Structure 1
Amino acid sequence: SAVYKRLNQPIKIDDLNALTNGNHWFVVAGDLKAKHPLWHSSCSNATGTILYGHSLNGDYTVKAPDTPTFFPAITGHGSDVLDIALVRLPQLSYDITNLNELSSDHKPVLLRSPTLQSPTRHRNTQNALTGPNI
């Protein structure tokens, strides 16, 4: 799911529960405006503190790039990590990075999960006596 939390709107536990409860795999990603040092923000805010507490009780991880995703146009306001992902997938490792394609005040973020096993490639061969052999 793609999410966006409006500025100055409190994050609701019921909304977090709706996104993360259940026995299903998910990726919830976007601008949650949830600042917390554990996901590379320069400080904590109320949303980040709530999300951190919820993640401790939930069966998911918060993933964030290690460099800022937000670059404000207002002088004196520093860049920070606002675009994050809540992840529950069977993979053990994830790679999340910023893409250097700044078309707004936010950089796009790419979340990758390597496959456990490369798919097997089949090649078609023709045997003159028995027909196709895959």
Structure 2
Amino acid sequence: MSVWLMKTEPDEFSISDLAKRGQENWEGVRNFQARNFMLTMKVGDLVLIYHSSCKQVGIAGLAEVIAEAHPDLSSLDPDSSYFDAKSTPENPRWVQVTLGFKQAFDRVITLAELKAAPEMANSPLVKKGSRLSVMPIEESEWAFIQSLI
């Protein structure tokens, strides 16, 4: 099992939204490296849900991959903000995974808290310019994050 972190803006979609829906396709990822990470996700992998561009930035909860990468059909919809004219039904450029809700944390584990922790010093999450919308979390980082939950 791998552990991942996926960023979302909570005014668009939050851990609470995932809790209400139970599951959701994680669509709209338009970065090739993040897409490539999604291509390697397996059913049962854990996903930390990270709220960004908000008052309290940080890890808000936990989800699980319940369906592996499949075409992100929003890239084919000209009315979607995620439309990509280079994506076709025969050659979809973008994928999505389906996440299932696991847990909303009692508190947000803040980015400031993570940046201050020596256990997170090598994580792209705490390095400016390295934060992707989808990124792997190392086993030692996951152990540290679990100690904060």
Output the TM-score relative to the length of structure 1: 0.30
Structure that is richer in helix per residue: 2
For the pair shown, the structure with the greater C-alpha radius of gyration is 1
Structure that is richer in strand per residue: 2
Larger RCO: Structure 1 or Structure 2 (Cα < 8 Å, ≥ 6 residues apart)?
2
